[in-house]
């Protein structure tokens, strides 16, 4: 399915090669290593130039890096001032030289922003005449 979806994406984008193809939400019914190896095959075939993974834990990041090498360039996990549990993944990405792409960096996924938890960001924003979102993204 991953290969089929990559081909459909390339067609939709009207390109022969996708610059960055993400394994977005791994299927828990499918072995992770098998999905990454399929992604490697897509890269080998030239359908995508580089790869990213999403919703990955440190073991999955290490596994993907061991299979894909320098062709793995990014990891996208949820991370914000209100959702810090991906800090180990963020730090591992730094060690491996991978881009860490924060998913929902403003902290508002699935529920309204907790105003009390973000009060310090609002105070900084007010003092500088900018939005709270700008302060959070700079954080």
Q: How far apart are CA 120 and CA 19, in angstroms?
A: 38
Angle at 137 between CA 131 and CA 102, to 5 degrees: 145
Token pair for residue 105? 């960096």
- From 25, 56, 51, select the one nearest 39 (Cα to Cα): 51
Task: Determine contact, residues 76/103, Cβ cutoff 8 Å.
Answer: yes
Q: What is the pLDDT of residues 16-55, one digit of tens each?
A: 999 999 998 888 899 999 999 999 999 999 999 999 999 9
Q: What is the pLDDT of residues 95-122, one digit of tens each?
A: 999 999 998 888 765 555 566 777 888 8
| DSSP per-residue letters across 12-39 | HHT-SSEEEEEE-S--TTS-HHHHHHHH
Beta carbons within 10 angstroms of residue 1's beta carbon = 9
| DSSP per-residue letters across 47-105 | SEEEEEEES--HHHHHHHHHHHGGGEEEEEEE-BTTB-TTHHHHHHHHHHT-EEEEEST
| Mean pLDDT taken over the chain | 91
How crowded is the C-beta side of 64, counted as CA atoms within 13 Å?
32
Q: How far apart are CA 43 and CA 23, in angstroms?
A: 12
- What pLDDT, on the 0 to 100 scale, is given for residue 108? 63
- What pLDDT, on the 0 to 100 scale, is given for residue 18? 97
């Amino acid at each position: 399915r991953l290969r089929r979806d990559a081909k459909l994406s390339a067609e939709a984008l009207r390109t022969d090669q996708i610059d960055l193809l993400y394994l977005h939400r791994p299927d828990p019914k499918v072995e992770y290593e098998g999905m990454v190896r399929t992604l490697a095959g897509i890269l080998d075939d030239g359908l995508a130039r580089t790869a990213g993974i999403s919703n990955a834990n440190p073991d999955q990041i290490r596994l993907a890096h061991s299979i894909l090498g320098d062709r793995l360039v990014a990891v996208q996990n949820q991370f914000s001032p209100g959702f810090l549990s991906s800090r180990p993944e963020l730090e591992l990405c730094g060690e491996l030289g991978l881009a860490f792409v924060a998913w929902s960096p403003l902290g508002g996924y699935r529920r309204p922003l907790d105003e009390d938890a973000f009060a310090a960001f609002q105070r900084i924003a007010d003092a500088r005449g900018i939005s709270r979102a700008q302060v959070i993204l700079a954080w």
